[in-house]
Amino acid sequence: MVFSTPLPGATVLNSPQAQKKERQAIGTLVEVHGPVVIIDCRRLPPLRQALAASFDHKQYLFEVHQHLDERHVRAITLHGTAGLSRGMTVFDTGAPLQVPVSEHCLGRLLNIFGEPLDGQPALAVNGFRNIHSRPLPLSEAMAMTGILQTGIKVIDLLCPFVRGGKTGLFGGAGVGKTVLVMEFIHAVSSIHKGVSVFAGVGERIREAHELWREMQQAGVMSDTLMVFGQMDESPGVRFRVGLSALTYAEYLRDSLHKEVLFVMDNVFRFVQAGSEISSLLGRMPATVGYQPTLTSEVAELEDRILSTRQGSITSVQAVYVPADDMTDPAVSAILSHLDTTVILSRDQASKGIYPAVDPLRSSSNLMDRQTLGNRHYAVAEAVREHLARYRELEDIIAMLGIEELSETDRKIVMRARKLQRYLTQPFSVLAQHTRQAGVSVPLERTLDDCEAFLAGRYDDMPEEQCYMRGSMQDLL
């Protein structure tokens, strides 16, 4: 496993478009301010143009972000700045940053430039795609087409995924966010025979290595492409790695006509990288210190996650919530683009309820009778009502005991506790660690079981028999 990122540049410079202008010097480096550089140019390159420099057989790549005057541009570096100095000659690559695409990209681990991080040979290139491609025209985009079943009971029942939509996973460290993401990838691979693209934005090298190994052990790596911009890299890399991974997802959708699950972990680190760059570019900070371009930067990424007649992209995005404040400007900017919101609760995890989804705070735009149908909607609402009533009575039970409740409330509490345990589930990706086979439960069986709980058919069953099971029908 090789996780040291080689200095980039070869990918763009080796593209046919770039080779023609590789030797055309455009200017010289005059200032270096951390990851931001100022270049004196003979002619102004367009914004987002990729420029290159070389020193001691190493290639350096820059992306133009500002025109300062008629001769100077401010650019961000897409790598470490060690070795850069004033007076270095800068060349024009002739295009924005491009990544090599190939039908053999699945099963690979790449960096933002499409270079291998897994120690294997470079991709056999079929062509290059611009990471700044425009979103599809509305005439070509397809509307959301119903539920994407995952086989995870609590998700499919209470906050179903939208096929071709965007889902946000909100949670802190240690609540099972990565495991849930891995199970989503496993579900798309096994149930829907689709593929997954994982964008690791600001991942720690330990997390990235563990995730890569666990994906291999779970048997889902062959249908997955992983693109990493690690935490120790330039903010320019962390800012653009999401677009690079999304470019591969678009390629799989458009060229291979696949159903793609696009997973991004963590979108908040993308916002943080944009904030770092904004400060270095000299922009005045806006609300709570975030960059003034926060909304447009998030929209630039989110608006490209679309489905067409050839294939679909369903997005699952992990989002860190600062200080558990859902009104944070970064969280609000991301929330406005999502179709489903899944809140992972530390309180649920402390009780051993995994997946640690908070059923009362999580929601989906599909939660209406017209989309779900009368049966699914009625069962989901009844389950929420039972769980909500149980949460209201928890303090009374803790102080006075369950015996002080009315007969009706006692029944609701006992059924809610069993439903809470029933919505736990062993995952296939953890089978090697837990020694318990993972299960996938179809939505129809989940609805049958929940109706039985609500009707009181399992009132005499001990709670522990409902915990970490699949369908109750299989148990019986």
Positions annotated as catalytic residues are 177, 203-204
- Quick one: how far is CA 136 from the chain centroid? 20
Contact (Cβ atoms closer than 8 angstroms) between residue 172 and residue 321: yes
Q: From residue 208, give the alpha-carbon distance in Å to each of 227, 231, 241, 310.
A: 10, 10, 14, 31
Question: Within 13 Å and on the Cβ side, how many CA atoms surround 347?
Answer: 8
Contact (Cβ atoms closer than 8 angstroms) between residue 44 and residue 70: yes
Distance CA(275)–CA(297), nearest Å, equals 10
Contact (Cβ atoms closer than 8 angstroms) between residue 129 and residue 101: yes
On the 0-12 / 13-18 / 19+ scale of CB atoms within 10 A, 318 is: buried
Q: Report the candidate in 388, 338, 380 with the shortest Cα–Cα distance to residue 361.
A: 388
Q: Which residues contact 116 (CB under 8 A, 6 or more apart)?
A: 2, 108, 109, 110, 122, 123
- Quick one: how far is CA 226 from the chain centroid? 11
Q: Label each residue of 205-261 as H, E or C.
A: HHHHHHHHHHHHHCCCHHHEEEEEEECCCCHHHHHHHHHHHHHHHHHHHHCCCCEEE
Main-chain dihedrals φ then ψ at residue 77, nearest 5 degrees: -90, 145
Q: Which residues contact 281 (CB under 8 A, 6 or more apart)?
A: 36, 65, 66, 74, 76
On the 0-12 / 13-18 / 19+ scale of CB atoms within 10 A, 370 is: exposed
Q: Report the candidate in 46, 47, 50, 63 with the shortest Cα–Cα distance to residue 22.
A: 50
Beta strands in 239-394 (DSSP E): 259-265, 312-319, 340-343, 363-364
